[in-house]
Amino acid sequence: EADIYQTPRYLVIGTGKKITLECSQTMGHDKMYWYQQDPGMELHLIHYSYGVNSTEKGDLSSESTVSRIRTEHFPLTLESARPSHTSQYLCASQGNNYGYTFGSGTRLTVV
Amino acid sequence: AQKITQTQPGMFVQEKEAVTLDCTYDTSDQSYGLFWYKQPSSGEMIFLIYQGSYDEQNATEGRYSLNFQKARKSANLVISASQLGDSAMYFCAMREGGKVDGNEKLTFGTGTRLTIIP
């Protein structure tokens, strides 16, 4: 059973559309992260949060934005999708044992 | 300097053989943790094994073991009796520092693609 959920699993969308990738966890973790990953490549941290109303940009510059209004919810938004945003987006939360629990990812294709 | 280095972009191993995936790390912290994750072609990241810097024994989880050599700063993953289902990307990661409220992001390596040959 997954304790962290990402929706949608796959998304194909046209250029210029606004999209929100959902990420929710039921473990009560304060720390949550968004990674961007091209197929077979390394993970790039794009956003993270250490609790409600706390968000920070990651190591890789991204045109996306995030919010953290509730502990369990950490959505990522692209205001205007472009083909360069085509990638997999992985959400993770971090417990007291420091390890990450990852969601199943969202594979985004912008056409 | 890279904090996590995985020097093997890809490996091919015969089924049922043991395989070692290399990982070296760089940190000046005394307290840190090392993780291995598996990523099948479906894309999800699966936690495999964890080693704390103060753990005296190498971590083991079923067919997975972590060959932790602190002086050499290496944390190689050993998979015994490989199976076709082990074919995947494998990522080594490190958490630095020991304070719960501090910066505890994981740093990931670039990954190794393991292919098990029948």
Q: What is the pLDDT of residues B88-114, one digit of tens each?
A: 999 999 988 655 445 678 889 999 999
Contact between B105 and A48 using a beta-carbon 8 Å cutoff: yes
The helix/strand count (H/E) of chain A reads as: 0, 11
Helix (H, G, I), strand (E, B) or coil at A62: coil
Q: What's the helix, strand, coil split of chain A in %, to 5?
A: 5, 50, 45
Amino acid at B39: Q
Amino acid at A75: P
Contact B69, B16 (CB under 8 A): no
Whether B37 has a pLDDT exceeding 70, the answer reads yes
| Burial class, A57, CB count within 10 angstroms (exposed 0-12 / middle 13-18 / buried 19+) | middle
Contact between A98 and B109 using a beta-carbon 8 Å cutoff: no
Q: What is the pLDDT of residue B98?
A: 54
Contact A83, A106 (CB under 8 A): no
Contact between B105 and A41 using a beta-carbon 8 Å cutoff: no
- Which residue does chain B place closest to A90, by CA atoms? B44
Out of B45, B104, B113, the one facing A90 most closely (by C-beta) is B45
Query: Which of B29, B45, B107 is most worth mutating to test chain A (most A CB atoms within 10 A of its CB)?
Result: B45
Cβ-based interface (< 8 Å): residues of A facing B:
31, 33, 40-43, 45, 48, 50, 88, 90, 92, 94, 96-105, 107
Out of A41, A42, A100, the one facing B106 most closely (by C-beta) is A100
Distance from CA of B56 to the nearest CA of A (A): 17
**Cβ-based contacts under 8 A for chains A and B:** 55
How far is it, in rounded angstroms, from Cα B80 to Cα B20? 9
Q: What is the pLDDT of residue A96?
A: 75
- As a whole number, the mean pLDDT across chain A is 93
What Å distances lie between residue A5 and A26, A73, A89, B91, CA to CA? 9, 10, 12, 21
- As a whole number, the mean pLDDT across chain B is 92
Res. B34 pLDDT band, cuts 50 70 90:
very high
Q: What digits encode the pLDDT tens for the residues A50-63? A: 999 999 999 888 89
Average the pLDDT over B59-73 and give the result.
Answer: 96
Q: What is the pLDDT of residue A6?
A: 97
Whether B55 has a pLDDT exceeding 80, the answer reads yes
